[in-house]
Amino acid sequence: MNYEILIPLLAAAVQSGTPILYATLGEIFTERTGILNLGVEGIMIVGALSGFLVAKITGNPAVAFFAAGLAGAVAASLHGIVCIIFQGNQVVSGLALTILGVGFANYIGAAYVGQAAPGFDPLPIPLLSQIPGLGPIFFRQDLLVYLTYLIPPLMWLFLYQTRYGLSLRAAGENPAAAIAAGVNVVACRFVGVLVGGFFIGLGGAYLSLAYTHLWTNNLTGGRGWIAVALVIFAFWRPSRAIFGAYLFGGVMALQLRLQASGTQIPSSLLLMLPYALTIGVLVLASWRRGGTDEPAALGRNIEPVD
């Protein structure tokens, strides 16, 4: 494959990997506090719709992007209420949230299918975009992509280098010990769910505001579930999430290019690629579960009995 094809493909990989990266980072943050949120797909599509609608009404994509994050946090709070306060099963609650979110977004969005909204366009960074190779791949993207370059290091700093991060991780590793040490575990877990939901909502908004610029039914198309898988692939570490997200972005971009090139392979078989890859990646990551940072109390509720 020659240079003129490879560079645009890699740039497209970064772009289509970005929504998955937002969602994966959000889910990592949530799972670190011990809450397994399988509602990513539902939260993401609610974020996508909210971003689209706010952009359409206000005409301001930045406001829309932030509003999508808030909508994601609100959607995720349902999972928090059901699991943290009402002690519901986390697996089933997340599934319910996905069913609810997808239904809600398709219901409200039905009147807007195919309509466009103002969004984000590529904004090359002056000097950096001139670097051969790296420049066109990483620095001729839109603003929201640049934002994701900052989040993993900041999230790492917060989780590993601050007291609050330590409390959040303690809530996911050993809630009983954390409670004994005076940590408000319920608050920690709620923060995890809400902040995680905020980022997942942003991931959805990337799809409607920067990736497609318009609304269609089932816009997320399983990306939320891929993000859930990538959390495992990333060993629950923000830095590793980047590689996973761009790998999937690459496969999605490649698949689209193959379709556009008029290949003989039927499109339904090409569309299978990302899903099949998810299983493959998951098998590889799970094979030897050494060195992961999987929270020990992930998915387990805290008994409210005193």
Partner 1 sequence: MALIRIVKRQEPLGWGSCFVLIAAVALSVLLGGAILAIGGTPPVHGIVTLFQGAFGSRWALEDALIKATPIFLCSLGVAVAFRLQVWNIGAEGQYAMGAVGATWIALSFPGAPAWLLLPGMIAAAMAAGGCWGFIPGFLRQRLRTNEIIATLMMNYIAILFLDYLVYGVWKDPASFGFPMTPVFSDQAIIGRIGATSFSWGLTHCLLLGVAVWAFMRFTRLGYEIKVGGDNVRAARYAGIPYDRLVMLVMALSGALAGWAGFLEASSTINRLQPSIMAGYGYTAIVVAWLARLNPLAIGVAAFLLAGLRVGVEGLQLDLQVPAAFGGMIEGLILLTVLAGGLFTRYRFAFKRRLP
d(Cα 8, Cα 61) in Å, to the nearest integer?
25
Distance CA 47, CA 101 (A): 9
115 binds partner 1 (CB under 8 A): no
If binding is defined by CB under 8 A, does position 110 make contact with partner 1? Answer: yes
Among 59, 103, 133, 153, which residue interacts with partner 1 (rule: CB under 8 A)? Answer: 103
Report how far residue 192's alpha carbon sits from residue 35's, in angstroms, rounded to the nearest whole number: 8
Binding residues for partner 1, total number by CB under 8 A: 52
Stretch that binds partner 1, among 2-10, 19-27, 86-94, 159-167 (CB under 8 A): 86-94
Contact call for residue 158 and partner 1 (CB under 8 A): no
Question: Which residues are CB-contacts of 229 (< 8 A; sequence separation ≥ 6)?
Answer: 278, 281, 282
CA atoms within a 13 Å half-sphere pointing along the CA-CB vector of 102: 18
Stretch that binds partner 1, among 114-122, 161-169, 197-205, 271-279 (CB under 8 A): 271-279
Residue 112 binding partner 1, by CB under 8 A: no
Amino acid code (one letter) for 296: A
Closer CB to partner 1, 77 or 174, in the complex:
77
Piece in contact with partner 1 (CB under 8 A), picked from 100-108, 124-132, 175-183, 200-208 = 100-108
Sign of CA pseudo-dihedral 92, 229, 6, 142: positive
Phi-psi region of 291 (alpha: psi -120 to 50; beta: other; left: phi over 0): left
CB contact at 8 A, 298 and 175: no
Least Cβ distance, residue 249 to partner 1 (angstroms): 17
Q: List contacts with partner 1 (CB under 8 A).
A: 38, 42, 78, 81-82, 85-89, 91-93, 95-108, 110, 217, 222, 225, 228-229, 232, 266, 268-269, 271-272, 275-276, 278-279, 282-283, 286-287, 289, 303-306
